[in-house]
């Protein structure tokens, strides 16, 4: 078990382009979470999955953002028509379902929109 893996580590894109990030959780964890962290701030919750079901979405998740977790394994987060305000670190975390809280975070994907 190598922990939570996120790819790519860094992404630079032009405004208006679409980007997709991938998260591979710890294999036995059935809960997966996406967070966004901007400079000087703590992580802000975006959405989470229990297996393949997306159970909760933050109002931060505008209609340009979509997340999927097909088959309840890896997850993707797509941002369409990127804006400069989307520049941030996107963090993925996983945890065992049913169990008590305490996530394992990945190293994040840093997005820079130019």
Partner 1 sequence: AQSVTQLDSQVPVFEEAPVELRCNYSSSVSVYLFWYVQYPNQGLQLLLKYLSGSTLVKGINGFEAEFNKSQTSFHLRKPSVHISDTAEYFCAVSDQSGGSYIPTFGRGTSLIVHP
Binding site for partner 1 (CB under 8 A): 4, 6, 33, 40-45, 48, 55-56, 91, 93, 95, 100-108, 110
Which CB, 43 or 79, lies closer to partner 1? 43
Q: Tokens 């999927």 belong to which residue?
A: 68
Least Cβ distance, residue 84 to partner 1 (angstroms): 21
User: What is the spatial distance between Cα 19 and Cα 38, in angstroms, rounded to a whole number?
Assistant: 17
Nearer to partner 1, 16 or 97 (CB): 97
Task: Return the DSSP state at 65.
Answer: E
Q: What is the DSSP letter of 52?
A: T
């Amino acid at each position: 078990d190598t922990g939570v893996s996120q790819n790519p580590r860094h992404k630079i894109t032009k405004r208006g382009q679409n980007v997709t990030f991938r998260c591979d959780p710890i294999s036995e964890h059935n809960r997966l979470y996406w967070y966004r962290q901007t400079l000087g701030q703590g992580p802000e919750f975006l959405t989470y999955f229990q297996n393949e079901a997306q159970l909760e979405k933050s109002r931060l998740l505008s209609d340009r953002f979509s997340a999927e977790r097909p088959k309840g394994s890896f997850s993707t987060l797509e941002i369409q028509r990127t804006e400069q305000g989307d520049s941030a670190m996107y963090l993925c975390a996983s945890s065992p379902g049913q169990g008590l809280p305490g996530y394992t975070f990945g190293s994040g994907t840093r997005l820079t929109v130019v």
